[in-house]
A = this chain, B = another copy of it.
Amino acid sequence: MKSFIIIGHKAATAPFSLNDLPGAAGRMDILCRCVNAALFLSHDLRRDVRVYLVLKGEPAPPKLICFDGSGVRYLNPDERSAASLIRKALEKNAQGFWTESTPGVSVRKGGLGDLLSELNRKITYLREDGGDVRGRSFEEPLFVLGDHLGVTDDEEKSIEKYENEVVSVGPLSLHADHCIVLLHNEMDRQENA
């Protein structure tokens, strides 16, 4: 199992319009592209992947949404498709435990700290000054990535409570979904070497 956590600092925590993902939904487009990058192969899904979204925007933050590649249904590659499943999850009355909203998609109340505590694993944290991802080996990796606002000091403190390493995917600063593509490629190459 490979897990990705993406932090959406402005991402809406109540149902939103599918016609304005960047604006009213608080850069939900970023999270949707991350779901795509984490789960899609050309004509298949990556069944060994879980994607966790941390939604920190108004009106009811924080909330967590999980896409489980082994069970997800009704997901297509376009942003609007992932957004539609996120919106359905936000229609649920979120509790402090996971509730499935559609097959393979679950929602709960909680923030990054709650999620890291629940998973309780070594964290691989993406930051531009990290060590090169190429040639590293990953076992049951848990990757944490920020959105357009990066990762805050408070979030870094949550991460530092766990065994962790900091990696970088290349010399330029990239969008989170592009980083996920590059992480997968490194793992794909190692698994098929």
Q: Would you call B170 and A22 a contact (CB within 8 A)? A: no
A158 within 8 Å of B (CB atoms): no
Chain B minimum-CB-distance residue to A37: B178
Q: With a 10 A CB-CB cut-off, give which of A33, A76, A172 has the most chain B CB atoms.
A: A172
| Assembly stoichiometry (copies) | 2
Q: Which residues of B contact A79 (CB under 8 A)?
A: 29, 78-80
* Nearest CB of chain B from residue A28's CB, rounded to whole Å: 9
CA distance A44 to B173 in the complex (A): 9
CA distance A75 to B99 in the complex (A): 37
- The stretch among A48-56, A109-117, A136-144, A184-192 that forms the contact with chain B is A184-192
Q: Would you call B77 and A29 a contact (CB within 8 A)? A: yes
Q: With a 10 A CB-CB cut-off, give which of A19, A77, A182 has the most chain B CB atoms.
A: A77
CB neighbors of B among A5-21 (8 A): 18-19, 21
Q: Would you call A171 and B189 a contact (CB within 8 A)? A: yes
CA distance A185 to B172 in the complex (A): 9
Q: Would you call B188 and A42 a contact (CB within 8 A)? A: no
Q: Which residues of B contact A42 (CB under 8 A)?
A: 148, 172-175
Q: Would you call A173 and B78 a contact (CB within 8 A)? A: no
A157 within 8 Å of B (CB atoms): no
Which of B40, B81, B182 interacts with A185 by CB under 8 Å?
B182
Q: Which residues of B contact A77 (CB under 8 A)?
A: 22, 29-30, 33, 175
* Nearest CB of chain B from residue A191's CB, rounded to whole Å: 8
- In the assembled complex, 16 residue pairs joining A and B whose CB atoms fall closer than 8 Å, in A order, are A21-B78, A21-B80, A29-B78, A29-B79, A33-B36, A37-B178, A43-B148, A43-B173, A77-B175, A78-B79, A79-B80, A171-B192, A174-B181, A178-B181, A181-B181, A182-B185
